[in-house]
Amino acid sequence: MRKKIYIILVMIAVTVFPLSAQKVEVPLRFDRYYSYDDVVKAVALLNQTYPKLTKKVLVGKSDEGRDIWALEINNPATGKALDKPGVYVDANIHGNEIQAGEVALYLADYLLKNYGKLEKITKVVDRNAFYIIPVVNVDGRYHFFADANTMHSSRSLRIPKDDDRDGLFDEDFPDDLDGDGSICQMRKRDPNGKYRLDPLDPRIMIRVKNGEKGEWTLLGSEGIDNDEDGRINEDAEGYVDPNRNWGFYWQPNYVQRGAGDFPMSGKGIKAIAEYLYQRPNIIVVYAFHNYGGMFLRGPGAKELGPMNPQDIAVHDLLGKNAEKIVPGYRYLISWKDLYSTYGDFTQFTYSTLGAYSYVGELFMTEQETYSKEKPKKDKASWNSNMSTERQRERLKFNDNLAHGAMYKEWKPYKHPVYGDIEIGGWVKTSTRIPQLFMLPELVHRNASAVIFSASQTPDISMEVFETKKMGNNLYRVNVRLKNKNGIPSMSYISQQKKIHPKDILKISGSGIKVVAGGRLTDKYTERANYKEYKPEVQFLSVPAFGYVEYTFLISGKGSITLSYHSQIAKDLKQTIKLN
């Protein structure tokens, strides 16, 4: 009977987000957070409002059968999506990282509503194809809103797992004992406990020193023993980290926690991988997460070795500009500046798609200030490791700027196992998630970092800079392919691993024959690296902020067509006449 009562309490409890019940309208509003159902509506409305510029694509299904939607933005008047550089953005790969989804939605909304109004936005949309998946972990986002959670929970893929090895799966989640929509902490008075109250703010628990008398014992997250095995909260959703389940440099669980049973074991993960492989024009990838104020690039692990300097230069260009666009964020190398990861998404996209890839870690708790001093970077990530002084300041921020929304005051509760306890602490919409008044700037700045990267995708021009008659019906034609932007026509890793075919420069025409052709190494002395076979077809790549030049000796007369084809950059064609 006791078990049934608590299950009913959990079912009744719902998470209340400010403004989350409002109607979804376009242009979208960002003074609220969107539930999973709201995100689906928002994608559909953007598609309905801008039908000429957008396409709504069902990427696949999640482990619980929910739809994973992508919104594709492309102007068909300037070419097919696959014929342009592709910019891929996704978010919310961990279910509790909800503001990441708002960044992706904001990017889509901002591009569409400003197309034709702002010249820079219009150019970026005309030159690129955008592929935006606002929510990767759709089950996690759904449950973060629908269920009670801590700020850290509902991250996993919903692949059932028997954590406590009792033959049951996911049967002992934490329980929202007081029905407030959050899973907070439990504490009990205990003269032999390891904690005491902070004399300046009794909401804070301070660990006692050796020999010092304690007052309280912390009992962990609120909950009961649902499966009556003598343990509490030991078998929640079982843990497959969707950002450790990708099919490059995957390692098993004993090396990488949350890896899953095998790469791509998550249904949604596999579906997104297939979606990406069907779009080989993708050259930039942003995956938004929720915490730390960072733009991270690979390598994800030291064993992978350093990136080639050519690809580092491109990553640096985009990453260092992103730092300027989002003040306080740091552009870092994942394994070196943070920690090693295996089977993570952006290492997968860089290594198997050849795309310049970043993780955008969003909110910084040091922005939660109640002080005249400039905020300092938090040395510790989460509340339990923060200094007592820092916790006091955050509570003042809660009291004076969030007006109590972030923290639940400790209240008595009669627990069936622990007896008289108190429940309180930080609620699920704190710590990892900015308060709503802080959201608009966060989404705009991070979307602007993506837009800057999109402005740097390869923009190639073709110029015939010399046509010279060399003899009877023999001509020399020199061609220059120039890239005015900071991203090359293909990444170095793509060339090295042959991920994509190289760009092709081809000469064709009736009544002509290409006698010789090759890359021009010195146009002043007419030196060239001539190709031995099929000189009319040259394989190449065009560097960032640079150019390549080719020379051809052509026998015959009439019109010739020079065509340039790239997997990433836009195709070009030019016809000239040999006189």
DSSP state letters, 119-172: HHHHHHHHH-EEEEES-S-HHHHHHHHHS-B-SS-S-S------TT-SS-SS-B
Backbone angles phi, psi at 482, to 5 degrees: -125, 135
Q: Which of 2, 17, 3 lies closest to 434, judged by CA? A: 17
Contact 548, 261 (CB under 8 A): no
pLDDT of res. 541: 97
What stretch of H or E contains 318? helix 309-325
Determine, yes or no, domain membership for 524: yes
Ranked by mean pLDDT, the top range of 63-77, 222-236, 363-377 is 63-77
How far is the first Cα of the chain from the last one, in angstroms, to the nearest whole number? 96
Res. 20 pLDDT band, cuts 50 70 90: low
Say if residue 127 is in the same domain as residue 80: yes
pLDDT of res. 173: 84
User: What is the value of pTM for the model shown?
Assistant: 0.93
Say if residue 124 is in the same domain as residue 52: yes
Res. 237 pLDDT band, cuts 50 70 90: confident
DSSP state letters, 493-558: HHHHHT-SPPEEEEEE-TTEEEEEEEEEEETTTTEEEE-SS-TTEEEE---TT-EEEEEEEEEE-E
Interatomic CA distance for residues 24 and 43, integer angstroms:
10
Say if residue 495 is in the same domain as residue 522: yes
**DSSP conformational letter for 291:** B
pLDDT of res. 10: 37
Determine, yes or no, domain membership for 284: yes
Determine, yes or no, domain membership for 314: yes
pLDDT of res. 12: 34
Read off the pLDDT of each residue in 418-442 and give the average, rounded to a whole number.
Answer: 95
Determine, yes or no, domain membership for 248: yes
How many Cβ atoms from other residues are within 10 Å of residue 545's Cβ?
14
**DSSP conformational letter for 337:** I
Determine, yes or no, domain membership for 225: no
Say if residue 249 is in the same domain as residue 114: yes
pLDDT of res. 511: 87
Task: Give the chain's domain count.
Answer: 2
Say if residue 475 is in the same domain as residue 336: no
Say if residue 247 is in the same domain as residue 355: yes
Say if residue 444 is in the same domain as residue 479: no
Say if residue 472 is in the same domain as residue 445: no
Determine, yes or no, domain membership for 199: no
Determine, yes or no, domain membership for 215: no
Say if residue 354 is in the same domain as residue 480: no
Question: Residue 267 maps to which CATH number?
Answer: 3.40.630.10
Question: Residue 473 maps to which CATH number?
Answer: 2.60.40.10
For 463, counting Cβ atoms within 10 Å of its Cβ (0-12 exposed, 13-18 middle, 19+ buried), the class is middle
Say if residue 547 is in the same domain as residue 442: no
Interatomic CA distance for residues 190 and 195, integer angstroms:
9
What stretch of H or E contains 13? none
Determine, yes or no, domain membership for 168: no
pLDDT(557) > 80 = yes
User: What does DSSP say about strands 512-522 and 547-556: parallel, antiparallel, or unpaired?
Assistant: antiparallel
Say if residue 134 is in the same domain as residue 250: yes
Say if residue 450 is in the same domain as residue 524: no
Res. 342 pLDDT band, cuts 50 70 90: very high
Domain boundary among 424, 455, 486: 455
Ranked by mean pLDDT, the top range of 111-125, 362-376, 385-399, 459-473 is 111-125
Helix (H, G, I), strand (E, B) or coil at 299: coil
**DSSP conformational letter for 334:** I
Contact 560, 450 (CB under 8 A): no
244-280 pLDDT, tens digit each:
999 999 999 999 999 999 999 999 999 999 999 999 9
Contact 35, 66 (CB under 8 A): no
Q: Which spans in 326-455 are helix H?
A: 345-353, 388-400, 439-455
Contact 345, 275 (CB under 8 A): no
Give the range of the structural domain holding residue 504, as residue numbers without chain letter: 460-578
